[in-house]
Chains A and B, each alone.
Chain A
Amino acid sequence: MKITAMRNAVTRYVHDGDTVAIEGFTAFIGFAAAHEIIRQGRQNLTLCRMTPDLIYDQMIAAGCARKLIFSYLGNPGVGSLHCIRRAIEKNIPRPLEIEEYSHFGMVGRYTAGAARLPFFPLKSYLGVDINRANPRIQFVTSPYSDENIAVVPPLNPDVAVIHAQRADANGNTQLWGLLGVQKEAAFAAEHVIVVVEEIVDEAVIRSDPNRTVIPHVVVDAVVHQPFGAHPSYVQGYYDRDNKFYQEWDKISRDAGQTQAWLDEWVFGVDDWTGYLQKLETREPEIRTRLAPGQALSRPVNYGLYGREGA
């Protein structure tokens, strides 16, 4: 039984100076965890994410990070991440060290981390400046041909936060939709906090084992936090709150407005329940606005073997 309150999970598994990966590619972004990390005043984190998105824009504006490891710096479909740009271009609120890859490079880093390999080879970084800007990207010669191939080092975060649709109380976690690098990040990390929309019975998990992306053995804590990925989305549960992504573009352009937003929406509430209450006070119909229609998958027959029949 690993069900934990978010506050306790963060207190226990996220420490100052840690390397932290809160992944989720456009979907499943763990904002509830990020806000709790900000509220608890964590410092000097090395933040890893393929796409830092609004979540790291907020954490970096709040001064949680000393370093960012990433592959695409943008507000998806909207524009720039202004807080991260301020940190990189103007050292506001503090200098931010960056370690930059391409998407494939980040995927490779997590993959090597998950498999405890010394490096991951990929056909990339040919004829470009990315590897000049980041000396951790190296080239080796294949032992089987004379091909020169790029390698990236493993990434093993101290803690990964994985948002998903559902898990059982023991941490067996099922995801569908954009899988991103959720599995690799979980297997690569020293500790894993899983945050889910629903806690389900173990029998639900066992009825569809192909959908179990993360098994209990790599999970330390399970946090039940419905709507915990807002303003990003969870496939089949709620849509992206694009209005907020556009609103953030305006708020984040100004350091003062950004701080005021953090004061109100992160420091001004006790927890994610408080955030959701504020959200629903501001827009009572928000859940209806973001509710998707239904598109059910057809059930499959896994077969029953060894009891009756076969």
Chain B
Amino acid sequence: MADYTPSEMMIVCSARALAGERVVFVGVGLPNIACNLARRTVAPDLELVYESGVFGARPARLPLSIGDPTLVSGATSVCPMSDLFMNYLQGGRIEVAFLGAAQIDRFGNLNTTVIGDYRRPKVRLPGSGGACEIAIHAQKVFIITRLKKRAFVERLEFITSAGHLTGRPNQRKSLGMPGSGPQRVVTDKAVFRFDADSGEMFLSSIHPGVTVAQVQAEVSWPLKIAADLQTTPPPSPEELRLIRAELDPTGMYTT
């Protein structure tokens, strides 16, 4: 047995992906811990931006939501949500954003709206929030979600946030999307990246102890695999110490 949890592996993978980044749009839960871990390790200058209108948060406790008051106290700036969406996001100031999803397809398009028919839903999900425009405007998007067959689907029932659409070259640009779309999908079993030409997701790294067959079993389409498939380096003792002692001491998101 590994001495870390799958959630901790996801957090560490996400944090490492932020190396050298300066402005990140944070979601609650795992992305929040990942971004705070990155600021203490690979990206010391990272500014945390929350859609609730916070730029440069310095949370003193683990935020319970993206609107937690700890995000306000000590932040660089707190602004109306109109400023956040118009000037920060649409204005092109966000380098990386994290998004989650109930469903994802091979091109990184995301569904967080509905399972079943929109008007007669089987399961009504939360909807877009800011995700639809974050997916358009953030320079890069990282997706963080657990690897499950019912999430990694052949065809989305509803597109809430655009990834690489149908994979045609320049499709995002021709629709007027400034951001380059999803670049990574971080899961509890593996990390995926996207082919620059086809826009299709491929397996780029598997976590220690996971096999390619186990990953394929949770993906509904025949998965493309990197020629130089890597094994993800496990969390370091220091990364684990920061997560457990400082970022999520009660283990709310990591166990």
Using CB atoms and an 8 Å cutoff, list the residues of chain A in contact with chain B: 25-27, 50-51, 70-74, 76-77, 80, 84-85, 88-89, 100-104, 107, 111, 122-130, 133, 147-149, 176-184, 233, 235, 239-240, 242, 292, 295
Q: In the bound complex, what is the Cα–Cα distance between A104 and B88 (angstroms)?
A: 12
> Which chain A positions have C-beta within 8 A of B109?
127
CB of B64 within 8 A of CB of A77, answer yes
Q: In the bound complex, what is the Cα–Cα distance between A84 and B89 (angstroms)?
A: 30
> Which chain B positions have C-beta within 8 A of A50?
81
Question: What are 8 A-to-B residue pairs whose CB atoms are below 8 Å?
Answer: A77-B64, A89-B121, A102-B131, A103-B129, A104-B90, A107-B85, A130-B160, A240-B69
Shortest A119–chain B CB gap in Å is 15
Residue of A nearest to B112 (CB): A72
> Which chain A positions have C-beta within 8 A of B82?
107, 111, 181, 184
Main secondary structure of the interface of A (DSSP, over half): loop
> Which chain A positions have C-beta within 8 A of B172?
127
Partner pick for B126 among A72, A104, A133, CB 8 A cutoff? A72
Partner pick for B54 among A178, A183, A242, CB 8 A cutoff? A178
Given contact pairs A89-B122, A177-B78, enumerate 20 new A-B contacts (beta carbons under 8 Å). Answer: A73-B127, A76-B65, A77-B63, A84-B124, A89-B124, A100-B127, A102-B132, A104-B132, A104-B133, A107-B82, A123-B90, A124-B133, A126-B162, A127-B109, A128-B159, A130-B128, A149-B176, A176-B78, A179-B79, A239-B69
Residue of A nearest to B162 (CB): A127
Using CB atoms and an 8 Å cutoff, list the residues of chain B in contact with chain A: 28-29, 51-54, 63-69, 72-74, 78-82, 85-86, 89-90, 109, 113, 118, 121-133, 136-137, 158-162, 165, 171-172, 175-178
> Which chain A positions have C-beta within 8 A of B78?
176-179
> Which chain B positions have C-beta within 8 A of A182?
80
CB of A129 within 8 A of CB of B69, answer no
CB of A148 within 8 A of CB of B176, answer yes
Partner pick for A72 among B54, B127, B171, CB 8 A cutoff? B127
Shortest A125–chain B CB gap in Å is 7
> Which chain A positions have C-beta within 8 A of B63?
77
> Which chain B positions have C-beta within 8 A of A235?
69, 72
Q: In the bound complex, what is the Cα–Cα distance between A227 and B131 (angstroms)?
A: 32
Partner pick for A26 among B68, B118, B159, B162, CB 8 A cutoff? B68
Most chain B beta-carbon contacts within 10 A, residue among A103, A111, A295: A103
Q: In the bound complex, what is the Cα–Cα distance between A284 and B132 (angstroms)?
A: 44
Residue of A nearest to B111 (CB): A129
CB of A124 within 8 A of CB of B67, answer no
Partner pick for B121 among A88, A130, A183, A295, CB 8 A cutoff? A88
Residue of A nearest to B136 (CB): A126
CB of A103 within 8 A of CB of B53, answer no
CB of B177 within 8 A of CB of A127, answer yes
CB of B80 within 8 A of CB of A104, answer no
Shortest B18–chain A CB gap in Å is 22
Q: In the bound complex, what is the Cα–Cα distance between A184 and B68 (angstroms)?
A: 21
Partner pick for B66 among A76, A85, A107, CB 8 A cutoff? A76
CB of A107 within 8 A of CB of B81, answer yes
> Which chain A positions have C-beta within 8 A of B90?
104, 122-123
Shortest A122–chain B CB gap in Å is 7
> Which chain B positions have C-beta within 8 A of A51?
129
CB of A123 within 8 A of CB of B176, answer yes
> Which chain A positions have C-beta within 8 A of B132?
102, 104, 124-125, 128, 130
> Which chain A positions have C-beta within 8 A of B126?
72-74, 80
